[in-house]
Amino acid sequence: MTETATAVPLRVGAGASRTSTRSIISFMVIAALFAYPLVLSPYQMDVARDALIFALLALSLDFLWGKAGILSFGQAAYFGIGAYAVAIVGPMIPNDNAALAGMVAGIATAVLVAAIVGYFLIYGGVRGAYLTIVTLALTLIARNIATSWASVTGGEAGLIGAPPPGIAIGDWSIVASDSISLYLLVAIILAVALLAVWTVCNGRYGRVLIAIQDDEAKARALGYNTSGHLLLVFVLSAGLAALAGGLYASVAGYVAPDLVGLLLSTQAIVHVALGGRGSLIGPVVATVVVIRLQQEVSSYSYALWPLMLGAFFIAMVFLFPNGLLPLFTRLADSIFGRSDGGRT
């Protein structure tokens, strides 16, 4: 026999323990998210709730950017579609399903827009920076519609009277209106979305997505319909962003053109980049931390925050391009004494 005789058993141990460290950290963070607001004032709870909604937006981007390698400035467009749908469609529905109907309409519209735009781009072979630029245009168009089509969108003033989240079945109905229940609703939706995306990306499907990111031509040569896979993620991510937008409109009670802006897309990109692209939980944590920090800094000076964010962004690109999460996991690994933690 040849060298094959000296083979040792598969080292599944190393990979498995790293995965379980990840899932334990993820679980702890999710649990902390739930517990955090219960010690806060209603105002702080509302701030935390909004932060979680933007975390959901960041999650939608991380799914697309981190897992499929498509950097999109279009998330704000889908967020806006979701938000405006709740504010426009919602009031047409007489019962407590109003917000739900608006969200369904918003998600469907966003998915449709993403499917049409994505089909022509992705199947047309558009990738990388070119694809990113088109998504940028998408957000600019959405913003223009929001400000210009005043008879429907309320123009610069936006719309008030978006219905609060609720469910009505027959005579029975329930509406979330106080800070605690609104917070819990948003936290549960975020947790479910996070676990869903995480589960999908940790299975066989996630491997295929990484393979496509690494070498799309090779993946195609192995028989994968790579354009189909990328389009699916593009569309699902748009649906997730629209869900975040719908939630925002519903809990805030109003929509304004700011929700469709390029600033919102850029913010989501910063959150994902900070948290660590592709880690899913990282961008969620980063969003909450950054918004908390922003609040803190802004109470001293409004001018200080953009400066700090810019400086931080530059530092990140140079010092920790993989985001903050790898730093923490390496720290945790060294504390718990895992020798293979920093190997990759």
Partner 1 sequence: MTAPLIEARDIAVRFGGLVAVAGVSLTIQPGDICCIVGPNGAGKSTFFNVLTGTVKPTSGEIRLGGEDFTGRPIHAFARNGVARKFQVPSVFPSLSVADNLRVAQRRGADEMALADVLDLLGLTQDAERPAGILAHGQKQWLEIGMALATEPKVLLLDEPTAGMGPEETQRTVRLIREIGSRSAVAVIEHDMEFVRALGVRTLVLHQGRVIAEGSFEVVASDERVRDVYLGRG
Report the interface residues with partner 1, using CB under 8 A. 2-4, 7-12, 14-15, 204, 207-208, 210-211, 213-215, 217-219, 221-224, 344
Task: Tell how many helices (H) and how many strands (E) occur in the chain.
Answer: 14, 4
* SS3 state of residue 104: helix
The CA-to-CA distance between both ends of the chain, in Å, stands at: 33
* Cβ proximity to partner 1, 115 vs 211, nearer residue: 211
Distances, alpha carbon 92 to alpha carbons 87, 96, 137, 161, in Å:
9, 11, 31, 11
* Cβ proximity to partner 1, 213 vs 266, nearer residue: 213
* Cβ proximity to partner 1, 218 vs 317, nearer residue: 218
Q: How far is the CB of 185 from partner 1 (least distance, A)?
A: 37
Q: How far is the CB of 339 from partner 1 (least distance, A)?
A: 14
Q: How far is the CB of 237 from partner 1 (least distance, A)?
A: 20
Q: How far is the CB of 148 from partner 1 (least distance, A)?
A: 44
* Cβ proximity to partner 1, 54 vs 198, nearer residue: 198
* Cβ proximity to partner 1, 66 vs 82, nearer residue: 66
Strands 172-175 and 254-255: unpaired
> Is residue 85 within 8 Å of 92, Cβ to Cβ?
no
Q: Which of 61, 47, 14 is nearest to 278 (CA)?
A: 61
Separation CA 107–CA 225 (nearest Å): 25
Q: How far is the CB of 69 from partner 1 (least distance, A)?
A: 11
In the numeric block, the tokens 């022509």 are attached to 120
| Joined tokens for residue 97 | 């399903």
